[in-house]
Structure formats: C-alpha cells, structure tokens
Structure 1
C-alpha cells in the first residue's frame, strides 16, 4: 500500500446523549475518552507500514467535538508522525453546536483541521427537540458565527428534512435560514427510521409516520431547486457544494471506490478487493489496541463481479 494515498476516517464513539434518530454506534460513557484516545493512538501506529499517506482525514462520530484540543493534538500529531499529511490534506471534523466556542474553533485551525461539518439539523427548536438534539436553534447560529470568527473558510452545515409534521414551507424556511451564512457545503438528509434508533419505537406505536413516496420526491426536488437557485452544485444525492473545490473530497472516496482506512470502534476500511471492519464495542476495542493487538473483527474479499456492481451502484449517487 506504499505510495497509495488513501482517506482516513476516525470514529469517535462518544455522545453526551443519544439522538432520537441516530443508528450510528456511540456510547455515553465519556469517562472512557482518555483511555480511548490512548488506544486510538496505538491503532494509528499499527498501520504505519501499510498506508504511506493520506490526502483526506475525516473525524466523525459520535461527537468528536467532545474531545479537548489536547486530545485532538495527540491524535493528529500521531497521524503526522507515522503517515504523510501535507498542507493540501483535507481534514474535516464533525462538531455539535452546543459544544463549541471561538477559542475551540481557533484551536482546531491551529491543529490543521481545515473543514467543519456542523450538525445543525434544523433551525427550529421544536424539530430539534423532536430529534433529541441537545442544542438550540440559537446555539446552532452562534456556532456558525463562531466558526467564521475563528477563521474557517470551508464550512458545512448538516440538515434533516422529512421530520414528522414538517411541511414543505417549513423546510424552505430552514434552507432560507442556512443560506445567509454562505456555507461552502450543505448536506440535506431525509430522516430515516432505523430499527436501532429510539424514534423507531414511536413509529411502531403509530405515533409518527414516514414520508410516502410522493412526499419524499417533493422534499428532495424542493431541496435541489432551492439550493440550485442559490448557486449550489448538487454533486451527490444529499450533498451540495458552493464551488467544485468545496465538494467533500473524503466522502467522494467512498463513492469512487478509492482506498480508505477506518480507525476506532465499528470503523470500516477498504483497499482493492478487501473490506474489513473493527469490533463495535468500545470495551472490546480497548481490550485489544492498548496491547498492540488489531481490533479488526472480520473481513470480506470481493469478487470482480461484486466490485463492478458496487462501482455501478455508487456511481448512481
């Protein structure tokens, strides 16, 4: 894998509370974070001979913004020590609006993080409560302002549509509130009700409904139309960029079958025809990596036919 530039994904599996719609692996035992960071540093070292360089790094979760600047420094300095990163490397971090300040954002910039995804989801407090988010609409606006004040010039906003009871007009209002901030990137996702998410129970109890196909199309095309009028490029199903150079270079690796390495619990990796993934449990993860033992749980080898089908499927995004 030497000389093959890949993407690096780092999963930070900690949240102060679980959002009602989320099915990503996370835990609320934030007291384990120091131990986890030490383990993650060990896992980074395990791959020093297999991946020579990364040209994108994505720190996701969970809630990465629960990490202190010191913990982030430990992680990024270890990556820099054992793998090649340069000034052109896209380094993205997801942040929760309720966790951040101008000073925190400045510390991220000083560490080389040059792209943010702010998990706004909505500018409506009622919808935020429905989704189980722990920030308010005002905190979301303030987080965006803080990021700009700190000097971030590549900023993404995540939004969710299709929330039970949300009208098209209310969704248009949400988009209209995001646009004055001139985010370089917007991700607009339809709310999905996964069986492992808390909202699914309410769906089974018939307390909430999913969008029907007609409604799905209406929200999707309204999003594309409104953001298109604002000058955004619709380059993937849920993603919009203000200019070509603001497209998510990291996420495009997934869609183009480019190699990527995933670190942390439940993280997935891909290279050539091999896909592998780590143990899901933080406890199991921490039983392995401190001793220098790989946390990989399993792998699959894809046939040429499977690779072709996946490539075709991903191209449709």
Structure 2
C-alpha cells in the first residue's frame, strides 16, 4: 500500500474532480456515497442492480471538491438493460480522475470481483487512472476477517491505496474521502456551488425514491423489472400561500400482470405503503407538502425492448 495523500492546507489552490465508485452489485457503493456526502443522494437496497444511472454526490471541504459518481454494479448482463448499464459504467470510468473499487468484507472475493479487477488493471495501464481499493462493510465481520480481506485485496491487484471502512457506522469514511481527494487535479475553482450535494434533477430523485420504496420486501426477481417515470410535478391550485402543496404523478412500470399484482398488494395495501414511504422523502427533497398519485402499469419485457428502454430513460 502506498502512502496516503494529505489534505490541502488553507490558502492553497483548489483541487476538484470526479471519483467513480465501482464494484459488483450490492458491494455497498450507494451506502458509501451517501455516507461521504452526508445526505441521501443514492437509493440503497439489499437487492442487486439497485443503481441504474450515474449518480453524482458532491463533497466540498476547504479547497477540495470531490464529485462522487455512484454507478450500477458491473455484472454479466442477461438483458439489453444489463448491457446498457455495463456500458454506462465503462464510459464513466474513462472520464474520472480516481476510482474507488468497493469489495465488501462480509463476502469472500469471487469471480465478479476478479472480473472487475481485471478491467480496472487494464484501465490503469491505458489511462493511468489511480484505483483505490475500499474494503466496505467492516462492521459486519471481526478484526481477523478484516485483516484476511485486506490481504486478499492486496493480492488482487496493484492498487494506489487500500482503505477499510464502514459506511453504516461511519468508521473511516473520512479516510476514504481524504484518500480519494488526494488524487484530484488542481482546479481554479470548485466545479459545483460549495453548498451543492448532488446534481440530480428533482424528477430523477423522485423516481428513485419511489423505486426504493417499491423494492422493499419484494421477491428477488422483481427489482430488475421495476422502472419508475415521473409524469408531472405541478402546484395544487387554490392553496393558501402559507400552505402550498405539489401534485406529483408517478407511474411504476413492471413487465407482467403478476408483477403488477405484487406491487399493488391485496386491496392496494402495498402500493399505499410505497406511497407513504416515498412521500416522506419527496417532501424532504422538495421542501413542501406533496400529494403523491401512484399508478402501476405493465410494459411487457421493457428490459429487452430498445424503444421502451429509450422511453424510460435508458
């Protein structure tokens, strides 16, 4: 392991740039992104392939701005959607200043990790992009297991640094930030306003919050079939100025009628739970009361249909 780079001191020029957080599905990428930013900017779930687009979380400290790109997990694709998600990751890797490679400590290094490691080694050679290996989820195992995991990570590739952390407990998250930021290039100014936390649009954030709520407690095969589209966000007419409300209309798409029944639940009970959970997050993002109008529709085999993928934003 190389020596960790040091923070910038007062009066020095800005460092600013992009860090891509990669890893196989469910490696803790989104949880780490949220912990680094200090706010929820990426949805999290125990289901693989939760993240479907490159989410930017922005971390600003004295004279440093680290823009985190949380990507979908690289995986062996089984659908056109899967192929496009992998393409998105690879395109993102070519445009960043440093890469954080998440390897969860509660799981042995497997073929998926080796597959990603091989791609990153090639990228290091071709583009000279530093890769920091991040041992995530150290709260889930004992010290002996963490030590074994760090050794296995070291043997997997020639990394710029190796950093263990627990995003859930906040342990050594600041170390991860400091190491990643140390590889950023000089910049005449920050890339985003210093108080910004993400560059995601409100509509995309709303869609992600609904999808996160819909993912909770569903069968393993359903998450891949869920897509969410925000149809409109409009102010409710005839509301008093001191108590405004927004009408938010959202459609949840699935691939089969049987999946639609799962999302809606008996008598609409599950869909009501999804709406209640999502509305809380949406109101926090928009800063006012919301009436959330949720509908579920079938878009047959949308993951394999180029036209439907384009319509849903993939």
The bucket for the TM-score relative to the shorter chain is: 0.3 to 0.5
Larger Rg: 2
Structure with higher helix content: 1
Query: How does the TM-score come out when normalised to structure 1?
Result: 0.37
